[in-house]
Amino acid sequence: MKFDDEANALKERVVSIEDVELEQALKNFKSSVHAWSDAAYSRPRGIAKEVRQRSWRLALGWALGCALVAGSVSGGLLGRHHRAEAARIAAAQRAAERQKQLREQQARAQVSDEALLADVDSDVSRQVPSAMEPLAQMMDETK
């Protein structure tokens, strides 16, 4: 039994030595984790500022791009409207000129019609027929 007691005592010493080594290893691990954590929390953080600056630049780029597209489209639409308006004005002027020419032609036709009617009227309204005109002239001389 003495042998068993000595073996048990030896086992207890070995276990206690292993426990002490394990405990020491765990303490070292704990202190290194705490040191790493303190270093990680205390170091300066530059990523958030850089992301904010990039997002601002990105938003500004998109805004300027959208403004450029909107300006191009509105400029094109304005030019198209201007050309359409100029074409409408030119068409109205051509129509006015055509109406003016038509009125002038109608006035000339009316004048020529009136002149023709006046000639016919003078020919028809003779006091003496053309065959008796020499006699009519003689009678005017006698008076």
The number of angstroms, rounded, from the C-alpha of 124 to the middle of its chain's C-alpha atoms is 77
Which residue type is seen at 120?
Answer: V
Which tokens go with 40? 């990680």
9-46 pLDDT, tens digit each: 666 776 677 778 888 998 999 999 999 988 888 887 76
CA distance 88 to 81: 10
Q: What pLDDT score does 48 carry?
A: 58
Question: Domain segments of the chain: what residues?
Answer: 1-39, 88-121
Both tokens of residue 102? 């038509």
What is the rounded distance in angstroms from the CA atom of residue 143 to the CA atom of residue 138?
A: 9
The set of residues, in sequence order, having a beta carbon less than 8 Å from that of 88 and lying 6+ positions away, is none
CA–CA separation, 41 and 99 (whole Å): 90
Structure confidence by residue, pLDDT tens digits, 61-116: 999 999 999 999 999 999 999 999 999 999 999 999 999 999 998 888 777 777 87
